[in-house]
Amino acid sequence: MEQQDCLFCKIVAGDIPSAKVYEDDVCIAFNDIAPQAPTHILVIPREHFRSLDEAAEKHKETLGHLLLTAAELARSMGFAEKGYRVVINTNDEGGQTVFHLHVHLLGGRQFIFPPG
C-alpha cells in the first residue's frame, strides 16, 4: 500500500527518479543520493511498511528477499569477496530517516566495528 507522503513510495511509483541498479516484483535497488561508501545502494520493498520494528509475519519472505538481493548485488558488482556491510536502521535513535523499511548495502572500503 502506497503512502502519499513517503519518498520511497514515490520512487517505487516512478513519480521521483532514482538511479536504479536492480528491480523485480518485490523490490527496487538504487544508488543512495548521499553515499557513505564508494558503493552505497538502498534496497527497498515495493510494499510500504515503516520499519523493521513494524514488520510482521507476513513480511518474512519480503525481508529475506531484500537480504538475498543485497548479497546478489554485492556479488554481481564485484565487491562481495572483499566484504560489504548490510544495515537496516530502525526508528529515530537507530538512525532511520526515511520511514519506509530499506536495506543499506555498503561496499568498496574497509569498515570498522563497532559502527557509529
| Active-site annotation holds for 104 | no
Other beta carbons less than 10 A from residue 79's beta carbon:
19
Report long-range pairs for 90-96 (Cβ below 8 Å, ≥24 apart).
Answer: 90/51, 90/52, 90/53, 91/51, 91/53, 96/51
Catalytic residue among 40, 59, 65, 102: 102
Active site residues: 102
